[in-house]
Structure 1
Amino acid sequence: MSAVTATLIILAIIALGEVFSIISRAKIPTLLVVVVVFFTLLQTGVLPKDILAASTFTVVGAVLQPAILVHMGTLIPLKVMKQQYKAVIITLIGITISCGLMLVAVPIFFDYETAVAGAGPLTGGIIAYLVTAEGLQAQGLTALIAIPAIILSLQQLIGMPISSWMLRRHGLKLLKDMDENKAFVAATIEEETDDETAPEKRKSLFPEKLMESHFFVLFLIFIGSALAVWLGELTSISYSLFGLAIGIIGSAIGFFPDKALERSNGFSIAMVGLIFVVMESLVDVTVADILAVLPAVSAILIIGTFGLLLGGFLGSKLFKWDYNKGVPVVLTAMYGFPGDYLITQEVSRSVGRNKEEEAMILNQLLPPMLMGGFASVSIGSVVIASILVQTL
């Protein structure tokens, strides 16, 4: 099979997942469709096991993985992080308690390695999965790779409905507040929104013309990527941690533009490459392997979700937030963007009685939800997964 044909077939599976996700408004995750369809076609012999190797696209994913980590560090300006510090802290409390519970409770029924296999992916997304899968492969624990793969595919189906239900309850409370003191609430929301969404002029170490060049920005990203990999090899600490730190620091000092990979027009192809890498990790997984880990996956999903709920509740109490707002912020760890945006948008439309109320509710809910997803999926889970795989 030619590389082009192999790539076309895999892209068709990914596109099918996107179609289901768009039609269902992200209720059916793209990755769930991709994993189920790809695994089924492999097991039934419709696709050969070497199709991913034939496509050569997994090399793209492997090369661009450090670049995506650097990119993640450039997503949210430090100013916004400071403004939404409560959402960040509540999220970190939630994922810390969740991971702690999994590491303590799961080994009672299974073993420590099983707990590690699920902890990172449950509190994050595709990067946490890849870090975990790489760690498991390095330690020869390939039989456990099915655990993070299944969790990555199913966690959205748990987190999104709970978040939607709780945010709707909080939205109805906001609506009641608006009815009781509408002028005050409107003024407050407008003031907060103006402060948080006002465009900030990002300083740059390079002339603006250079920063408009896709090739130059991509070159800068790979400088950061190469540095992260080198530091990882030098210190034996996962390069993922260095990639995030380099992205955050580089963005703050003006070495990288904000949303660096998007500015270089490389984000979409990078994410496709990562999905190829995820699919590659499933090639040697069998139906027997999946059946063998289903009890462990169930335990991880139940214990981990309970930990997120508990952490979100305690964090909300700490900052005197309505827990119907704080808990969904933590649950963004299970789905991230664009799920956090779509849920908030749908809740605002369903609760608001007119366009003005929809906008006011959206402006209250969206910033902390986006920040929660960033703090967990983009940073927190990657740090957790990177640390935990070192303990295997």
Structure 2
Amino acid sequence: MEPIYLAVFFLALVALGEVLSIKSRAKIPTLLVVIGIVFILLQAEVLPPEFIEATTFVAFGSMLVPILIVHLGTMIPLSVMKKQYQAVIITGIGLLISVVSVLTIVTLLFNYETAVAGTGPITGGIIAYLITAEGLRAAGLTTLVAIPVTIFALQNFIGMPLTSILLSRYAKSIRTDTDNHHYAKLAAATDQKKQAKKPLIPERYLESNFIILFILFCGGALAVFLDQITGINASLFALVIGVTGTALRAFPEKALEQANSSGITMVALFFVVLASLVGVTWNEIVASIAPALAIMFIGITGLVLGGLIGAKIFKWKPTKAIPVVLTALYGFPGDYLIVEEVARSTGRDEVERKRIMDELVAPMLIGGFTSVTVGSIAIASILIGTLS
């Protein structure tokens, strides 16, 4: 079959997932719909495994992974992270307790390899999942790949509703708060500071999509090169390159979006995830249910406990601190969409809705960035390295 026909078929599944996600207000993740349908078709032998590779998107997506991670490093400036240091620390506490708990308890209940298979996905999103799945295959632990698949598919259904409930309670407690422009002022100060700093590359050149892509590919290539000479996972280097490059203003913020290339990159990444399903059997999924549920219970309990401790330290309400940590279970855009929905449904007028958005959107985005973009990639890369 022609690759274009296969691509249309798989993109139809992505479009269906998007429709369901929009209708459910992000409670049904797009990727979960695509993974579920493709897995069923593979198991029923309706979809030949070689069809996924035949789209040519898999090779393209694999090449784009380090470029995407460099892009993730450009998503939120260091200046904003510094102003939201409390959200960063609270999220870090949650990740630490979650990781230590999973590695300790799950190793005792099952084994160390099983604990590692679940730790990356429970602390982050799609990139942590890919690092874990590819690392398990490289280490010859293919039977364990079903564990991150199961966790990745199910954790959204726990994290997103729980976050929505807690944030709704918090929003009701702040909707009459008079300090309604705190985060807007921070953002304005950040913009002024950013404008005062001269970029390394003249801005007129960064208006070119091709130049931005060239810089991103250079960053991704450098990360892969450093991996080859040091043995340290390229994901870590790519993340550092993205964050550092943005701080030095060598990269524009949200680089792939500036280059109008984020959509096709995410589509290619979907195919890399789908390729990881090839070879995973229904029996392996069933066998992974027990360890996956144990990992999720222990890991999520650790995240919640970290949120409670962080709330105590910084005198935050638990209904705000815990959701910030729970962003590890779904990340962006779920974190933003939940805040938007909470503000829309809880605020009684436009002023209150803006007040709720200003109060919650910055710490939630920073929490997701800290966990999904930074923490989970580092955790998954380091732990997978211990298996080789």
TM-score bracket, shorter-length normalisation: over 0.9
Q: Which residue of 2 aligns with 1:382?
A: 377
Matches within 5 A, 1:1-392: 1-175=1-175, 178=176, 185-186=177-178, 188-198=179-189, 199=191, 200-201=194-195, 203-392=198-387
Letter paired with 1:5: Y
Q: Unpaired runs of 5+ in structure 1?
A: 179-184
Maintained 8 Å contact 1:66/1:228: yes
Maintained 8 Å contact 1:224/1:247: yes
Maintained 8 Å contact 1:7/1:55: yes
Count of residues paired in the alignment: 383
SS in 2 for 1:164: helix
Q: Deviation string for 1:54-98 (max 9, x for gaps)?
A: 111101101110100100111111110011010011001101111
Letter paired with 1:170: Y
Q: Unpaired runs of 5+ in structure 2?
A: none
Maintained 8 Å contact 1:203/1:253: no
TM-score by length of 2: 0.96
Query: How many percent of aligned residue pairs carry the same amino acid?
Result: 53
Maintained 8 Å contact 1:98/1:308: yes
SS in 1 for 2:89: helix
In the TM superposition, what is the alpha-carbon distance from 1:203 to its structure 2 partner? 3.4
TM-score by length of 1: 0.95
Letter paired with 1:86: Q
Letter paired with 2:85: Y
Runs of 4+ in 1 over 4 A off after TM superposition: none
Maintained 8 Å contact 2:94/2:302: yes
Maintained 8 Å contact 2:183/2:362: no
Cα distance change, pair 327–197 in 1 and its aligned pair in 2 (3 A) = farther
Maintained 8 Å contact 1:83/1:196: no
Maintained 8 Å contact 1:122/1:334: yes
SS in 2 for 1:42: helix
Letter paired with 2:185: D
Maintained 8 Å contact 1:71/1:221: yes
> What is the CA–CA distance in structure 2 between the aligned matches of 1:345 and 1:55, rounded to whole Å?
36
Letter paired with 1:54: A
> What is the CA–CA distance in structure 1 between the aligned matches of 2:183 and 2:46, rounded to whole Å?
55
SS in 1 for 2:180: helix
Q: Deviation string for 1:259-310 (max 9, x for gaps)?
A: 1111112211111111101100101111111111111111111111101100
> What is the CA–CA distance in structure 2 between the aligned matches of 1:167 and 1:302, rounded to whole Å?
21
In the TM superposition, what is the alpha-carbon distance from 1:195 to its structure 2 partner? 2.1
SS in 2 for 1:353: coil
In the TM superposition, what is the alpha-carbon distance from 1:315 to its structure 2 partner? 0.9
> What is the CA–CA distance in structure 1 between the aligned matches of 2:162 and 2:340, rounded to whole Å?
15
Letter paired with 1:190: H
In the TM superposition, what is the alpha-carbon distance from 1:20 to its structure 2 partner? 1.0
Letter paired with 1:2: E
> What is the CA–CA distance in structure 2 between the aligned matches of 1:214 and 1:353, rounded to whole Å?
42
SS in 1 for 2:181: helix
In the TM superposition, what is the alpha-carbon distance from 1:197 to its structure 2 partner? 4.4
Cα RMSD (Å) of the superposition? 1.2
